[in-house]
Amino acid sequence: MAYENLEDLVEAVRAGRPRAVGRMISLVENESPALREAMRALAPSTGRAQVIGLTGSPGVGKSTTTTALVAALRARGQRVGVLAVDPSSPYSGGALLGDRVRMQAHALDGEVFIRSMATRGHLGGLSVAAPQALRVFDAAGCDTVVVETVGVGQSEVEIVDAADTTVVLLAPGMGDGIQAAKAGILEIGDVFVVNKSDRDGAQALIRELRNMIALGDYSGHRWKPPIVPTVASQGQGIDDLLAALDRHRAAGEQTGEWQRRRLRRARAEVEALALAMVRATFTLGGADGVEALAEAVRDGQLDPYTAADRVVADR
Amino acid sequence: MAYENLEDLVEAVRAGRPRAVGRMISLVENESPALREAMRALAPSTGRAQVIGLTGSPGVGKSTTTTALVAALRARGQRVGVLAVDPSSPYSGGALLGDRVRMQAHALDGEVFIRSMATRGHLGGLSVAAPQALRVFDAAGCDTVVVETVGVGQSEVEIVDAADTTVVLLAPGMGDGIQAAKAGILEIGDVFVVNKSDRDGAQALIRELRNMIALGDYSGHRWKPPIVPTVASQGQGIDDLLAALDRHRAAGEQTGEWQRRRLRRARAEVEALALAMVRATFTLGGADGVEALAEAVRDGQLDPYTAADRVVADR
């Protein structure tokens, strides 16, 4: 460990040192017992970062859009964090904070923190790990954090849903993928991006989106999601996207929706942590008991509700 | 309600009456308080159905493959259930048990039960609702139940992962989608299907898959996943798929893996239910408390771990 003690590590995270940020997120991923103390120390430094959730089906250009967005935010002088909850995300710029990212950094930018996170394998899953990672980025002084997800699974949707602003990416010519996307993620978009807008079908997609959005209820100053056409690979439309993000923030701060959403996010974070703690007690010392109950359920001797009652009572 | 009391409904489910099965799954979706009693009554009738998890990216042909598989199982005289945890799944045959399925039934087949399930909106989510729905199909005398998911999200992967046999569908020419699929779902496949195998790139995909599978450890009678080429839209290769499913079952029963996996599924089911019960107590009468804690976390006055401790202690 490069840091003598936790206090030094916390201090280095606050100072925005990439290695310390990476190390701290590793503690999150490994569910280190030291996290409690670290998060207690970091809490007062949090709450500043704007969290942008960016989601869409594979192939719509999420990584390209994220990269262009990060460049635009850097041009504003911001410190930026990227949390890629997407197994297909390849990143090459910025300070890579983990070994899961496929490409090595060529141009290290100490003001851009990038971390990939696997979607499986953690106790409590993403719903516990992702918010803690965001918290680390936040405490490290990131002005904006982009969370990129594939956006099909439930826990992923929950994560982007809780962002300050959720950007849903679509692209023309995705066939079935778009159909799936429409059913699941349209309702969570604060801003819609039609990427690859120079391709055939982009105008039709924009029209279709516009018609769907028009069905919504926008009374009482409720936010009406704009549609931003982009060609992210050429940086086209990214300024418009930034402007839309700014407008969404300004509108949310005015109506109070911004703070309400942050409350919802904090609540989801606390609940997920509490559930993970309770879940840990299901197996601590009582693993045999749970196993015996599961065996009875498997064999039809016991129903799962009665078994669950006993698990809760016995822990 | 078409049934006078719960006892009648349970009896009708056991008799395999489509309306009763649909009604019971609605109770699951609505988290009806009557579920406890119903599941207790149904438990002795469960454990017979073979659960096939079928997953893959949008566009690989999951619904077409499921439809062809159901037809083949019907030809064997089986009663079959389909649980579509996939917003893009359109079904037209069989007894449609819910209103979420887009198309109306044209040819009602009383021996095929089909139900779509939304991936959001339930307390405890899919991890609670899906196993209970499987349980209803099972008790209704289904010989086989196919669970179809998009297979990107964590909870979805958990569901197919817990199937008796997990079928991972791929197709040539899916671009980025395949990359994502490779990273996430390859490790869970007991059988790989390369659908649309008459298209360009199918042979290359099969070779690539074969090479990846070859890297695994198959000592101690461990199952080596076969690759089955299909053209599901024409029914080609479906018999080979059925044969692979049969071989997987026979091998699993011989090694004991079949029963171990069913134990794992029962355990996951019980744990998910227990967690949902505990979660309900977080808000029962204590919602204000959780809200105040979340507010303190949002404002950086409290860290989420300390808040979670209090939620667990106070419930």
**The CATH number of the domain where B209 resides is what?**
3.40.50.300
Please list the residues that pair with B84 across neighbouring strands. Answer: B116, B148
Contacts of A102 in chain B (CB under 8 A): none
| pLDDT > 70: percent of chain A | 79
CB-nearest partner of A290 from B150, B267, B279: B267
pLDDT digits (tens, 9 = 90+) for B76-125: 999 999 998 765 555 654 555 554 343 333 346 778 998 887 655 445 56
With respect to residue B194, please indicate whether it lies within any of the assigned structural domains. Answer: yes
Burial of A250 (0-12, 13-18, 19+ CB in 10 A): exposed
Contacts of B126 in chain A (CB under 8 A): 154
Q: Above 80 in pLDDT, residue B63?
A: yes
Q: How far apart are CA A64 and CA A300, in angstroms?
A: 51
Q: How far apart are CA B214 and CA B207, in angstroms?
A: 10
Token pair of B125 as six digits: 């989510």
Q: Do A40 and B311 touch (CB under 8 A)?
A: no
Strand A50-55 to strand A144-149: parallel, antiparallel, or no bridges (unpaired)? parallel
Contacts of B162 in chain A (CB under 8 A): none
Q: Which B positions 120-179 lie with beta carbon below 8 A of chain A?
A: 120, 125-126, 131-132, 135, 150, 152-157, 175-177, 179
Mean pLDDT of A279-303: 81
ipTM of the complex in this document: 0.81
Contact by Cβ (8 Å): A197, A237: yes
Residues A143 and A212 in one domain: yes
Mean pLDDT of A129-157: 83
CB-nearest partner of B278 from A154, A278, A298: A278
The secondary element (H helix, E strand) that includes residue B8 is: helix B6-14
pLDDT digits (tens, 9 = 90+) for A245-260: 999 999 999 999 999 9
Q: Above 60 in pLDDT, residue A107?
A: no
More confident residue, B100 or B242: B242
More confident residue, A80 or A181: A80
With respect to residue A293, please indicate whether it lies within any of the assigned structural domains. Answer: yes
With respect to residue A262, please indicate whether it lies within any of the assigned structural domains. Answer: no
Residues A89 and A232 in one domain: yes
Q: How far apart are CA A63 and CA A112, in angstroms?
A: 15
CB-nearest partner of A46 from B36, B293, B300: B300
| pLDDT computed for residue A154 by the predictor | 54
pLDDT digits (tens, 9 = 90+) for A118-128: 655 445 567 78
Report angle CA A173, A175, A181 to the nearest 5 degrees.
105
With respect to residue B218, please indicate whether it lies within any of the assigned structural domains. Answer: yes
DSSP assignment of A19-45 = HHHHHHHHHHHTT-TTHHHHHHHHGGG
Q: Do A40 and B306 touch (CB under 8 A)?
A: yes
Mean pLDDT of A87-115: 57
Domain count for chain A: 2
Q: How far apart are CA A7 and CA A38, in angstroms?
A: 8
Å between B72 CA and nearest CA of chain A: 25
Q: Above 50 in pLDDT, residue A2?
A: yes
Mean pLDDT of B50-77: 89
Q: Is the Cβ of A269 closer than 8 Å to some Cβ of chain B?
A: yes
Contacts of A295 in chain B (CB under 8 A): 263, 266
Contacts of B263 in chain A (CB under 8 A): 291, 294-295, 298
pLDDT digits (tens, 9 = 90+) for A174-208: 654 455 455 556 678 899 999 999 999 899 889 88
Q: Model confidence at B223, in pLDDT bands (50, 70, 90)?
A: very high
Q: Above 60 in pLDDT, residue B293?
A: yes
Q: Which B positions 21-60 lie with beta carbon below 8 A of chain A?
A: 35-36, 39-40, 42-47, 57-59
Q: How far apart are CA A26 and CA A129, in angstroms?
A: 10
Q: How far apart are CA B312 and CA B293, in angstroms?
A: 12
Å between A260 CA and nearest CA of chain B: 9
Q: Which of B230, B255, B280 is the last residue of a domain?
A: B255
Token pair of B96 as six digits: 């449609």
Q: Above 80 in pLDDT, residue B288?
A: no
Q: How far apart are CA B106 and CA B236, in angstroms?
A: 24
Residues A241 and A301 in one domain: no
Q: Which of B255, B281, B298 is the last residue of a domain?
A: B255
Residues A191 and A55 in one domain: yes
> What interhelical angle do A154-161 and B154-161 show, nearest 10?
170
Residues B247 and B296 in one domain: no
Å between A74 CA and nearest CA of chain B: 26
With respect to residue B165, please indicate whether it lies within any of the assigned structural domains. Answer: yes
Residues A216 and A301 in one domain: no
The DSSP code for B45 is: G
Token pair of A88 as six digits: 């297909």
Token pair of A3 as six digits: 């840091």
Residue in B closest to A180 by C-alpha: B88
**Interface test mutation site (partner A, options B62, B123, B298, max chain A beta carbons within 10 A):** B298
With respect to residue A267, please indicate whether it lies within any of the assigned structural domains. Answer: no
Please list the residues that pair with B7 across neighbouring strands. Answer: none
| pLDDT computed for residue B119 by the predictor | 55
Contacts of B62 in chain A (CB under 8 A): none
Please list the residues that pair with B192 across neighbouring strands. Answer: B168, B227
Residues B158 and B88 in one domain: yes
Contacts of B156 in chain A (CB under 8 A): 152-154
Q: Above 80 in pLDDT, residue A28?
A: yes
Residues B77 and B221 in one domain: yes
Contact by Cβ (8 Å): B276, A242: no
Torsion of CA B41, B43, B49, B50, to 10 degrees: 150
Residues A212 and A277 in one domain: no
Contacts of A184 in chain B (CB under 8 A): 87, 119-120
Å between A238 CA and nearest CA of chain B: 22
Contacts of A308 in chain B (CB under 8 A): 270-271, 273-274, 277
Residues A225 and A103 in one domain: yes
Contacts of B295 in chain A (CB under 8 A): 263, 266
Residues A203 and A304 in one domain: no
Q: Above 60 in pLDDT, residue B181?
A: no
With respect to residue A24, please indicate whether it lies within any of the assigned structural domains. Answer: no
Place of tokens 């990107």: B152
Å between B207 CA and nearest CA of chain A: 21
Contact by Cβ (8 Å): A55, A168: yes
Q: Do A40 and B303 touch (CB under 8 A)?
A: yes
**Distances from the Cα of A107 to the Cα of A28, A110, B83, B85, angstroms:** 26, 10, 48, 43
Cβ-based neighbours of B81, under 8 Å, separated by 6 or more? B49, B112, B113, B114, B115, B134, B137, B138, B140, B142, B144, B145, B146
Q: How far apart are CA B151 and CA B129, in angstroms?
A: 17
Neighbours of B169 (CB within 10 A): 28
3-state secondary structure of A142: coil
Q: How far apart are CA B105 and CA B125, in angstroms?
A: 27
Q: Is the Cβ of B297 closer than 8 Å to some Cβ of chain A?
A: yes
| pLDDT computed for residue B245 by the predictor | 97
Residues A96 and A243 in one domain: yes
**Domain containing residue A289:** 272-314
With respect to residue A156, please indicate whether it lies within any of the assigned structural domains. Answer: yes
Where is average pLDDT lowest: A306-315, B102-111, B234-243?
B102-111
